[in-house]
């Protein structure tokens, strides 16, 4: 479901009887740094982007120190068919992005299935 690499934040995926939970390590990030959406193929797409500029200048305007920091990350996750896509929620708390993906009832999943007649 998720592939790790050296520059990507750590991601945990946890399943309970009623929901899936995604936890993404995001120290120093705020909710404004994230975009969480469902794409046209019903995948969960998590995008994180942060640009920080720190400046320290002398009075005459020459740079003594100037640092730029830019972080961008995108992760696409294929969702199981039983996820209630209309009720997904996300919150950033204590340096972690938490996404709750509630499950549909078994009856709702069965109703969503479509039988195709074989001729």
Band of residue 45 on the pLDDT scale cut at 50, 70, 90? very high
Band of residue 105 on the pLDDT scale cut at 50, 70, 90? confident
Angstrom distance (rounded) from CA 42 to CA 21: 17
What CATH architecture does domain 11-112 belong to? Sandwich (2.60)
Q: Which pLDDT belongs to residue 1?
A: 47
- The answer, yes or no, to whether residue 51 has pLDDT greater than 80, is no
Q: Domain residues of the chain, as ranges?
A: 11-112
User: β-pairing, 63-78 with 43-57?
Assistant: antiparallel
Q: Which pLDDT belongs to residue 57?
A: 53
Angstrom distance (rounded) from CA 29 to CA 24: 11
Mean pLDDT throughout 28-41? 91
- The answer, yes or no, to whether residue 21 has pLDDT greater than 50, is yes
pTM: 0.73
């Amino acid at each position: 479901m998720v592939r790790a690499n050296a520059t990507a934040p750590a991601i945990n995926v946890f399943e309970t009887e009623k929901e899936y939970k995604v936890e993404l390590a995001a120290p120093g990030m705020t909710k404004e740094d994230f975009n969480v959406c469902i794409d046209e193929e019903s995948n969960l797409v998590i995008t994180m982007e942060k640009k920080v500029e720190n400046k320290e200048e002398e009075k005459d305007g020459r740079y003594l120190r100037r640092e730029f920091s830019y972080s961008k990350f995108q992760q696409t996750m294929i969702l199981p068919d039983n996820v209630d896509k209309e009720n997904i929620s996300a919150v950033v708390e204590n340096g972690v992005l938490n996404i709750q993906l509630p499950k549909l009832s078994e009856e709702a999943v069965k109703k969503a299935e479509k039988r195709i007649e074989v001729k």
